[in-house]
Every structure is written in C-alpha cells, then in structure tokens.
C-alpha cells in the first residue's frame, strides 16, 4: 500500500475513533462501520469468550461478515467441541484455515515436536507457521478485520484503539469489545445463552494451543496461562502493539 493511501486511511480512522470513543453498544459500533463503507469485513474467532460474544451478535443479526477460525493442529478437544456446538446452534458456517503442511513438517524437523518450550524464538517460529501465515491467507480478500480484543486483557493491549490500521497485515482492525469489562462479557454470554468452552469454568481464561495454555489462579493476569513458561509479553504476533 502506498504511503498516501495509508495516510488517508489513518485520518479516516482517527475520525472514527473520535466518534466511537464513548460507544460500547455493538449495534451502534457496527452501524458506524457500515455508514462509512470501509469495505468487506471478516471476523477471526479464537472461540474464546469475547469472540463468542461477537459470533453471537454477527450471526443473530445476519451481518455481512465472513467468520473464520484458525486450527493450528494443537488445539484442545474442548475448542473443537465449542466450534461444533456454535455452528449447530446458529446454523452458520465458520470457515477453518489450517497451517501449510510442508511448513509444519519443516518446523518439526528443525525444532522437534515440542521445540517451542526451548526458546522464545522457537515458540514464535511455531506461532508464525501455525497461526500468522494461515491468518495472512485468511485476511487477504478483506478490508476490515473484526477482533475480540479488550484493553483489560493485558498491559500490551491497554493502549489499543477501537479502529487501527494493522501494518503487518495491511488491513483495518476493528475492536468493538475494546472498552468492555470481563464481567460484561460474562453477562452477555449468560443472558444470550452463548456456547462457550467448558475449560473457562476450570480456570482457563485465555485459551490457545493445548501445550501452551494452563489454568490460572484468581490473582493472576488473564493471559498468564499463555506460554506460561516464558517471561515474554504473552503475544503470538497476531496483535502487535505498534498497530
């Protein structure tokens, strides 16, 4: 993308963020996007609680938004269960994107099946093959990427805005739940009878790949269970802080 076009988009998003600053209502936020005609929208769901809120809202309102998920090949069985129950409940398709098989074979040959435990770089290489590269393919036809990010989730995400331009994927990122609290997410799930991963009630708040996720205690950060053996920023590279 040329610098002039990117600058124009950034100016549009600055105006949108001013308009959206005090809005939490999903209907208002999605209407704001529709009114500005920013292009084709997609939603990537990790099947976590925030994303299940958005899936419910998108499907119930028949919004023209394609929904997809990433299957890294190392997910919990409970994640597959909630994917299945979600598609059955709403009678809608959630497209699944997988890693390139050759890339996975080369990764495992190089670092071993559990090499991601050994170094942060190994883990990031695994995330790149299993998550980032498939996401790039999935996002390619779209102009707007809807996410379930909340500023409360981590210090890294506290500075995000509702609308940003993601330079890594060259796409507008729309974060409609950014200002929601965790309690508001739980209230929505309960009041709308939204399917959720059974692991959430076992202390798993943020759920990723099975080998890289553990339950957390009440006094821990919500993302402390992700890559729990590291002292890193607890991000896989999908949502960089310099967006």
The number of beta carbons lying within 10 Å of the beta carbon of residue 150 is 23
Say what the pLDDT of residue 242 is.
44
Q: What is the pLDDT of residues 136-156, one digit of tens each?
A: 999 999 999 999 999 887 566
Radius of gyration of the chain (CA): 18
Say what the pLDDT of residue 195 is.
98
Q: What is the side-by-side order of every strand in the sheet holding 163-166? A: 95-97, 65-70, 41-44, 144-146, 171-174, 163-166
Q: Per CATH, the architecture of 3-99+143-203 is what?
A: 3-Layer(aba) Sandwich (3.40)
Say what the pLDDT of residue 160 is.
87
The residue ranges of every structural domain in the chain are 3-99+143-203
CA dihedral 17, 62, 151, 198 (to 10 degrees): 180
Say what the pLDDT of residue 243 is.
39
Say what the pLDDT of residue 233 is.
60
Q: Write down the residue that tokens 């997809």 correspond to.
A: 68
- CA-CA distance, 145 to 156, in Å (whole number)? 19
The residues that are catalytic are: 236
Q: Which uninterrupted H or E stretch holds 192?
A: none
Q: What is the pLDDT of residues 55-99, one digit of tens each?
A: 999 999 999 999 999 999 999 999 999 999 999 999 999 999 999
Low-confidence ranges of the chain (pLDDT < 70): 1-5, 154-158, 232-243
Q: List the one residue out of 56, 121, 69 whose CA is nearest residue 98.
A: 69
Say what the pLDDT of residue 157 is.
59
């Amino acid at each position: 993308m040329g610098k002039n076009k990117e600058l124009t988009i950034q100016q549009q998003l600055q105006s949108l963020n001013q308009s959206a600053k005090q809005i939490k209502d999903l209907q208002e936020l999605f209407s704001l996007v529709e009114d500005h005609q920013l292009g084709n929208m997609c939603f990537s769901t990790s099947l976590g609680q925030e994303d299940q809120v958005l899936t419910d809202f998108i499907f119930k309102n028949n919004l023209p938004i394609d929904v997809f998920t990433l299957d890294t090949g190392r997910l919990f069985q409970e994640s597959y269960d909630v994917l299945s129950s979600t598609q059955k409940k709403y009678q809608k398709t959630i497209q699944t994107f997988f890693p390139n098989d050759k890339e996975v074979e080369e990764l495992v040959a190089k670092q071993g099946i559990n090499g991601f435990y050994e170094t942060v770089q190994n883990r990031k290489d695994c995330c790149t093959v299993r998550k980032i590269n498939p996401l790039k393919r999935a996002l390619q036809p779209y102009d707007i990427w809807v996410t379930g990010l909340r500023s409360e989730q981590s210090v890294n995400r506290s500075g995000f805005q509702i609308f940003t331009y993601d330079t890594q994927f060259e796409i507008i990122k729309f974060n409609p739940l950014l200002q929601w609290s965790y309690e508001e997410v739980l209230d929505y799930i309960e009041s709308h009878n939204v399917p959720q991963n059974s692991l959430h009630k076992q202390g798993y708040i943020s759920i990723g790949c099975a080998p890289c996720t553990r339950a957390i205690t009440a006094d821990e950060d919500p993302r402390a269970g992700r890559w729990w053996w590291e002292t890193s920023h607890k991000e896989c590279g999908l949502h960089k802080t310099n967006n």
